Amino acid sequence: MAHKLGALRRMDRNHYLYIAVIVAVVAGAIVGLAAPEFAKTLDPIGKGFVALIKMMIAPVIFCTIVIGVGSIAKAATVGKIGGLAIGYFTVMSTFALGIGLVVGNILHPGTGLNIASSSYTAVGEAVSGTDFVLGIIPTTLFSSFVSGSILQVLLVALLVGFALQGLGSRGTAVLEAVKSLQAVVFRILSMVLWLAPLGAFGAIAAVVGNTGGGALVSLATLLVGFYITCAVFIIVILGGLLRLVTGVNIFALMKYLGKEYLLIVGTSSSEAALPRLIAKMEHLGVSKSVVGITVPTGYSFNLDGTAIYLTMASLFIANAMGTPLALGEQIGLLAFMIIASKGAAGVTGAGLATLAGGLQTYRPDLVNGVGVIVGIDRFMSEARAVTNFTGNAVATVLIGRWTRQIDAEQVRLVLAGSRPFDEASLAGAHEPASTTAELAAIVDSSAVPVADRAGR
């Protein structure tokens, strides 16, 4: 009972913030249209919120990459299941990032807004390719955290992650320390996000005051385009792959997970449905070993909805500021997002920090434009969470089929409604993991060789 009350309290806090952001966006739009000159003076409020997000970029990237590299190593050591899962997640998340770029280049969201006039830009100097590569190397191991270069932080994080892998058990204490640091970092980030309504109000008011109603139309175009892209990705890409490999209909699987989708929409996070997904995938007929490895690992490494969001939002900001990303910059941004998006699943605001980190890396002059995205970020969270969740459910069935650890007859009967899921079986289930560190703990406990699990 206490667990349920705790979950309800978290849900209530999320709803309060969600409602506050909606009210702030509407109020900002009204102020921008009714008193444009006054609205322009509110620009520092939005920029102040973005500055707080920028403050968190380096520690978020460092912690998530170090822990992410360690998690990949642990999952891969499980054998065929872990290796197959990591390979599939890498391909699908890269594909999702690519889809976001393609759709963004087709829709050109934000084109014509020219919000650069609202002082959201700070143009950086162009550098040669050689200087760019050499600039990735920090002066010292620790100077990267104060240099402002996210690529330097990324390099150091990768080096630390691989070094911890090489140390084996001796590196466990350091890895646990990084997980503890990450918990503190994400707690600070969650505190910063409570200022999102204020930041959204200032940013939307200033942009609307400068550009008029065109800003609202462009934001609505991005929002609708993102939802449609996620729907197409789920139905066509995930659904087509599921049908081709297993013969399962994506709509039948989604109907089976209906209660989980309601929970996700209610909390704007897929993490709340993690224990239920594990239980339901096992009931569906996928072996415990496949579910125990694939689902928790997927929550950190298979973020299809977040991937689509990162690339589409980046293109929107660049277009809105009148300086579109060149093809080379788009590819570089995609490569950065592939690495930086790992390990931050289920953490509110991590996607926003990753978005800012990618822009800070390739186009620092665009980072302050993140303030405009804050206004609709909460509206996009449901689509991100639903897409992430569906991607992990489909991945579990696919990997079960590829490893021949799925009962096809059980799948048929369950999806046909002949063997309904027993809700009472969830009594005493895990609480939803609230941080990546907790998800990593689930991976640790689940990543047991199949032979060992079979004897339990």
In order of 54, 228, 443, the CA distances from 164 in angstroms are 27, 41, 17
Residue 296: its H or E element: helix 288-301
Buried b (16+ CB within 10 A) or exposed e, 111-138: bebbbbebebbeeeeeeeeeeeeeeeeb
* 197 Cβ contact list (under 8 Å, min separation 6): 17, 20, 21, 23, 24
What is the residue-wise DSSP string for 388-439?
Answer: HHHHHHHHHHHHHHHTT-B-HHHHHHHHTTSS---GGGGTTPPPPP-SHHHH
Look up the pTM and report it: 0.72
What is the residue-wise DSSP string for 349-400?
Answer: THHHHHHHHHHHHH-GGGGGGHHHHHHHHHHHHHHHHHHHHHHHHHHHHHHH
Which pLDDT belongs to residue 435? 38
CA 451 to chain centre: 33
**Measured distance CA(26)–CA(231) in Å, rounded:** 26
What is the chain's pLDDT, residue by residue, as a tens digit (456 residues)? Answer: 444 444 444 445 666 777 887 888 888 888 888 888 888 888 788 778 878 877 877 887 788 778 767 666 666 556 678 788 888 988 998 889 889 888 888 888 877 666 665 444 444 444 445 665 677 788 887 877 777 667 788 788 888 888 887 787 788 888 889 888 888 887 887 788 788 888 888 888 887 877 777 778 888 888 899 999 999 999 999 999 999 999 999 999 999 998 888 878 766 667 768 788 888 999 999 988 888 888 877 877 788 888 898 889 888 888 888 788 888 888 877 877 777 666 545 455 566 777 877 777 777 778 877 777 776 777 787 888 899 999 999 999 999 999 888 999 999 999 998 888 887 666 544 444 433 444 444 444 443 333 333 333
Which pLDDT belongs to residue 447? 39
Number of Cβ within a 10 Å radius of residue 8: 10
| Phi, psi torsion values for 286, nearest 5 degrees | -85, 140
Contacts of range 379-384, beta carbons closer than 8 Å, 24 or more positions apart? 379/22, 379/223, 380/223, 380/226, 380/227, 380/309, 381/268, 381/269, 382/264, 382/265, 382/268, 383/226, 383/227, 383/230, 383/305, 383/309, 384/230, 384/305, 384/306, 384/308, 384/309, 384/351
User: Where on the phi/psi map is residue 419: left (φ > 0), alpha (ψ -120 to 50), or beta?
Assistant: beta
Cβ atoms 94, 88 nearer than 8 A: no
Helix (H/G/I), strand (E/B), else coil: 82: helix
Cβ atoms 198, 27 nearer than 8 A: no
Q: Tell the residue number behind the tokens 């060149």, with chain if given.
A: 326
Q: Identity (one letter) of the amino acid at 351?
A: G
Which pLDDT belongs to residue 456? 37
**Measured distance CA(165)–CA(60) in Å, rounded:** 20
* 53 Cβ contact list (under 8 Å, min separation 6): 192, 349, 352, 353, 356, 370
Helix (H/G/I), strand (E/B), else coil: 326: coil
What structural domains does the chain harbor?
A: 57-195+213-454 (1.10.3860.10)
Which pLDDT belongs to residue 433? 40
* 13 Cβ contact list (under 8 Å, min separation 6): none
Eight-class DSSP state of 127 = -
Cβ atoms 262, 241 nearer than 8 A: no
Which pLDDT belongs to residue 391? 94
